[in-house]
C-alpha cells in the first residue's frame, strides 16, 4: 500500500481507489478522462488535495511528458490546490502555465484566475476586459480529436471569468462551480 493512500485512510477520507495504479495510466486517461485518473479522485467530496498530490506525483514520475502536457497538469493541479484552499501553491502553479504565443486568451484567463484567488477585483476586471475584447483569429475552425467541427464560445473561458467576477469573495470551488 503506498504512503499517500495510507495517509488518506488515516484521515478518514478514502480518496484513491484501492488497487488502481494511477501511475500506469497513459496521459490522456489520467488527465483528460472525466471518470479516471485524477478526476476520479477529485470527484469525491473532500479529495481536492489528494487529487492535487496525485497530479504532482504523476508529473514527477513521467519524464517523457511534453511541455504542453506538463503545463496542462500544472493548471489542473493548481485548480485542485485552489479548491483545497492552498492558494499560494495554486498561484505558483498557475504562473507556470503562461504561453508565449497566445491567440486564444489563455494568459488573460490565467491573470483572471490569479486575481480572483488574490482577491484583486481591479486586476480581475482588467483581465476580463482584455479577454472579452480578444478578436477571434480569422479562419479559425476548431475541431475535436476526430476532426469534427466544434462550436466553442469566443473567447474561450470568458464564461468562467464572468463567474469568477460574479462570485468574487467566495471560494474558488464555489466560483468555478455553480455560483453565478
**pLDDT tens digits along 119-158:** 999 999 999 999 999 998 888 788 877 888 888 889 999 9
Give the model confidence (pLDDT) of 51-68 as tens digits. Answer: 999 999 999 999 999 999
pTM summary value: 0.88
| Residue 9 pLDDT > 80 | no
Residue with more model confidence, 143 or 8: 143
pLDDT tens column, 79-110: 999 999 999 999 999 999 999 989 899 999 99
pLDDT of residue 13: 62
Q: Are 110 and 98 in contact (CB under 8 A)?
A: yes
Q: Tell me what the mean pLDDT of segment 159-177 comes to.
A: 93
More confident residue, 2 or 15: 15
**pLDDT score at 11:** 44
Among 7-21, 111-125, 141-155, where is mean pLDDT lowest?
7-21
Q: What is the DSSP string of 28-77?
A: IIIII-TTSHHHHHHTSTT-HHHHHHHHHHHHHH-TT--HHHHHHHHHHH
Query: Cα(176)–Cα(45) distance, rounded to whole angstroms?
Result: 16
Amino acid at each position: 500500500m503506498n504512503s499517500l493512500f495510507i495517509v488518506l485512510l488515516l484521515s478518514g477520507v478514502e480518496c484513491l481507489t484501492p488497487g488502481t495504479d494511477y501511475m500506469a495510466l497513459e496521459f490522456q486517461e489520467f488527465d483528460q478522462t472525466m471518470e479516471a485518473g485524477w478526476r476520479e479522485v477529485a470527484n469525491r467530496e473532500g479529495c481536492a488535495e489528494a487529487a492535487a498530490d496525485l497530479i504532482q506525483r504523476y508529473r514527477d514520475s513521467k519524464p517523457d511528458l511534453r511541455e504542453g502536457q506538463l503545463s496542462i497538469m500544472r493548471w489542473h493541479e493548481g485548480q485542485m490546490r485552489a479548491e483545497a484552499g492552498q492558494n499560494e501553491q495554486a498561484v505558483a502553479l498557475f504562473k507556470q502555465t503562461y504561453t508565449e504565443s497566445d491567440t486564444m486568451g489563455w494568459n488573460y484567463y490565467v491573470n483572471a484566475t490569479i486575481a480572483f484567488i488574490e482577491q484583486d477585483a481591479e486586476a480581475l476586471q482588467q483581465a476580463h476586459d482584455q479577454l472579452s475584447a480578444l478578436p477571434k483569429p480569422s479562419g479559425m475552425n476548431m475541431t475535436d480529436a476526430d476532426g469534427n467541427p466544434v462550436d466553442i464560445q469566443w473567447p474561450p473561458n470568458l464564461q468562467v471569468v464572468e463567474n469568477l467576477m460574479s462570485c468574487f469573495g467566495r471560494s474558488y470551488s464555489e466560483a468555478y462551480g455553480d455560483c453565478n
